[in-house]
Structure 1
């Protein structure tokens, strides 16, 4: 048994193990968000596997090209030096883990850690990395087996290449059609059941002009969990009146769930009919809101605008998924776009038939995947035909074409995490600190992107694997660790692992957008009447107290 273990250990590639150790060490450096030791261990395990694979591939390529190999003495000396250097790097980086994690936590006003549990991280990483490497070695063994069979009638190199291609194709087919689809079906079933569950406090609305009431065109049972929360948890006329010190209105909210109708077009048509029924087009402000992947609409975004306009608002939304945005965006980001386009076409088509002097001002709103769908919903020709009044988008995800084009064409000298676009008449950007009051005049249509420098949903991209991003330049965002560095492949993995953790940080960082940011954005975009700076401070204070963590 002991002999077999030694033989198995000797079968590992020295170059592969060296690069795997270096990749592990780099993986514990900071990224955009803080990580616990379990998540860090899983990330580091992936890094170990990828590093080992790169080492094995580099050796295989060297041998395949039949290049000259160094002498045995040189190999021995170089191995000893390499082992010493890599060991020092490994120990040093583990020792620095706590400092690096705290460099992020301090910026995000989180309690500092006494320890980041580096040994637990290393244990999890080694176990997970070993399993992944074993799977990789099994894959190579299968490739060699097939190649051996092919060599009976094919040249050696062609047999090797053909064996690799055949096994790779079969592996991709099995993992994609069986494993990936199976996991997706499990997630789909889980989040569907979660979407159907409503808290006991979410009782059916009783007022006739509320969506989901007995008189509503939208059946209460067909609305998902997030939609029900949106319909019943918003501010009331009494709460808004108390804050303003004057009479307010009950805000209008319309929401159509996925089970309400079978297609995006049918859901959009139902939403329009319900919006007409409840008098949404008689309000001063009308907002077409695209939800996140789960169907959630951020209260920080929707509640604040209702206070700003004294409840004289109507908001309409339709659900297109019940999966979290980070899953939906990887599986089918077109869902949000198709849903947003269908809803906009219905609402806009009716809105533009109304008299211009009496119809409501029309705005778009979306967070995360909702931002992606919302920004694509209003095509250029519709805007030119009869312009809407503006939009407020937050946390635009990396596939957002309009956002990407704007930041790419930003004014020279402005950072990508806080760009300035042309003269700022149509589009502006903001973050935790309000950057919208530049003193420049707005045009007739006002659009704002809220983006945080620490939001992985915004800054993740495939290019991170091979290219240093602009947001890691000399001038970086105020909530990005100064210790964060770019490393090929590893930084891509780090930010990818940040995606599912994007909302686990305090409000005002990562993908958790604060009411204060929305208040600044809505004031700039919608220009609420009878509003002043003192009311802004009061409203920000009220929402800050609501969202503050419980002691």
Structure 2
């Protein structure tokens, strides 16, 4: 034990006092509230990253001051006083803000209607944050060691300054190779192969459909086993004609759902063509409304959104979807942003090419929808706002990621005085944003072709951006949404990591908050489709049916 403590003491002597001071400040800031409640272990990770960031900034500031020729010499007594003050501050501030942090988290839980957590678990935040900080600190020291070694080798051939630059270039090039080179591409291919095995499962309660209106049925050219886990879930779910009639009190048709799995073809274009073949087989082009949906990751479709569409249209519908990847949504969100766009374009263009050839009086209404990566990929089928409103009769985009180019362009063109969280575009004549159904009620008339961007103020998928590192976004400068803690503030570097960690369990909050878009899809579709003789009472009935019978899963 004596050796252990002696080792700890020696290691502590290697730490920089200015770095520790900045680290303590960032520890305090990291405990402030963010968009969603965080589990204690995620808070520990966020805090550890923040402390490491603060430590790095402190060390860098001290280095820059020395480079400017300012090198104060402190007496041993002054150093001892300084370390004592730092230790006392740490003893006071660390437990104080652990307590405040746990309290703030309870407030956030109340705002998003999540159950309260055991505040005692927050004591473990300190342990995890120290471990994370230590790992990141040693990783940084390792890079410094590698750079110094490369510099020493280069000094044999070139002058010192050139050697330092050359070593930095080599380390940087290695990082680029890992992040965006052949190694990265190989890793994605391996991940796709690895996760393809998990695609063979079928959730409990999901059975192969026996009706012609579904892909994967005995009458379908798409084998049940080829649809993938999410495809089988989608084909085995949803309301029947009888259920729709019972809920709405009106005659209904059996909704059509068609789907093709990733393994059905060697390319996304090939998978899209198989989906169109299924639409033709089932008579999808003869229905009143045809929806093209771009899925997320492994092919997930929000069944609340799909079912609400079918209820509102009385089952006189067809939904076309496809799987384009084996990667889970969180991994695809980070690692593969090209395939969702390619899939969104491939499926819409394949359906549109067939649809546009139909006689004008025989064409069904054409709508599009998607959530998260599905919204991102689906919007890639259009050149912009005008192209989208010209080519489709309606759209419902839910939880659109912040990096979606079309979303950025539309949000950036919002009317003066409107909020970034719920922007108003050209008075709301074609495009409207909503966190809640009432946000769709604007004074301006709404065109026949209606586009809705559905985004919660507390959804980190919508608001996460690298810009959070150094720039205060408008949505944090404006009045915050009603499910966001009024105490949330933007802090350089810290807020970025807080929102990043918020994304991990962003769908594991009650519907209507975070990245969980549920029964209010009935309200959104009623506004987008504006069916004849449809009342708010009808919408309320459908929303009630969704709330009682369907649980969104990813």
Pairwise same-fold verdict (TM > 0.5): yes
In the TM superposition, what is the alpha-carbon distance from 1:382 to its structure 2 partner?
9.6
Alignment counterpart, residue 9 of structure 1, candidates 8, 12, 19: 12
Partner of 1:137: 141
Q: Report the Cα distance in structure 1 between the residues aligned to 2:493 and 2:393, rounded to whole angstroms.
A: 42
Partner of 1:316: 320
In the TM superposition, what is the alpha-carbon distance from 1:143 to its structure 2 partner?
2.6
Alignment counterpart, residue 338 of structure 1, candidates 339, 342, 350: 342
Partner of 2:452: 448
In the TM superposition, what is the alpha-carbon distance from 1:158 to its structure 2 partner?
4.1
How many pairs were matched up? 548
Alignment counterpart, residue 281 of structure 1, candidates 279, 285, 294: 285
Q: Report the Cα distance in structure 2 between the residues aligned to 1:170 and 1:380, rounded to whole angstroms.
A: 37
Matched, 1:32 2:28: no
Alignment counterpart, residue 494 of structure 1, candidates 478, 493, 498: 498
**Which aligned pairs between 1:297-446 and structure 2 lie closer than 5 A?**
297-379=301-383, 383=387, 387-446=391-450
In the TM superposition, what is the alpha-carbon distance from 1:175 to its structure 2 partner?
7.5
Q: Secondary structure at the match of 1:515?
A: coil
Q: Secondary structure at the match of 1:393?
A: strand
Alignment counterpart, residue 547 of structure 2, candidates 544, 547, 550: 544
In the TM superposition, what is the alpha-carbon distance from 1:204 to its structure 2 partner?
2.4
Q: Report the Cα distance in structure 1 between the residues aligned to 2:98 and 2:148, rounded to whole angstroms.
A: 37
For structure 2, list consecutive stretches of 5 or more residues without a partner in the other structure: none
Q: Deviations over 1:214-262 (max 9, x none)?
A: 2212222211111111112110011111112232110000111101111
Distance 1:154 1:17, change over 3 A: farther
Partner of 1:208: 212
Q: Deviations over 1:325-364 (max 9, x none)?
A: 3321221212111111111111111111112223110001
In the TM superposition, what is the alpha-carbon distance from 1:121 to its structure 2 partner?
0.8
> Greater shift after overlay, 315-324 or 130-139?
130-139
Matched, 1:534 2:537: yes
Q: Report the Cα distance in structure 1 between the residues aligned to 2:38 and 2:388, rounded to whole angstroms.
A: 46
Alignment counterpart, residue 126 of structure 2, candidates 122, 142, 145: 122
Matched, 1:58 2:61: yes
Partner of 1:511: 515
Distance 1:366 1:478, change over 3 A: same
Q: Secondary structure at the match of 1:268?
A: helix
Q: Deviations over 1:460-500 (max 9, x none)?
A: 00000001111112411111111211111111111111122
CA contact 2:373–2:401 (8 Å) conserved in 1: yes
Task: Output the TM-score relative to the length of structure 2.
Answer: 0.92
Distance 1:337 1:409, change over 3 A: same
Q: Report the Cα distance in structure 1 between the residues aligned to 2:180 and 2:390, rounded to whole angstroms.
A: 46
Distance 1:12 1:361, change over 3 A: same
> Greater shift after overlay, 158-167 or 340-349?
158-167
Matched, 1:47 2:54: no
Q: Report the Cα distance in structure 2 between the residues aligned to 1:376 and 1:41, rounded to whole angstroms.
A: 37
In the TM superposition, what is the alpha-carbon distance from 1:308 to its structure 2 partner?
0.8
Matched, 1:482 2:486: yes
Partner of 1:249: 253
Q: Secondary structure at the match of 2:104?
A: helix
In the TM superposition, what is the alpha-carbon distance from 1:179 to its structure 2 partner?
8.6
Q: Deviations over 1:94-153 (max 9, x none)?
A: 120111101210101122334152321101111222122122223223333333444455
CA contact 1:22–1:90 (8 Å) conserved in 2: no
Q: Report the Cα distance in structure 2 between the residues aligned to 1:187 and 1:99, rounded to whole angstroms.
A: 39
Q: Report the Cα distance in structure 2 between the residues aligned to 1:403 and 1:347, rounded to whole angstroms.
A: 23
CA contact 1:429–1:449 (8 Å) conserved in 2: yes
Distance 1:213 1:17, change over 3 A: same
In the TM superposition, what is the alpha-carbon distance from 1:299 to its structure 2 partner?
1.0
Task: Output the TM-score relative to the length of structure 1.
Answer: 0.92
CA contact 1:18–1:86 (8 Å) conserved in 2: no
Q: Report the Cα distance in structure 2 between the residues aligned to 1:287 and 1:161, rounded to whole angstroms.
A: 56
CA contact 2:389–2:451 (8 Å) conserved in 1: no
CA contact 1:103–1:483 (8 Å) conserved in 2: no
For structure 1, list consecutive stretches of 5 or more residues without a partner in the other structure: none
Q: Report the Cα distance in structure 2 between the residues aligned to 1:416 and 1:69, rounded to whole angstroms.
A: 48
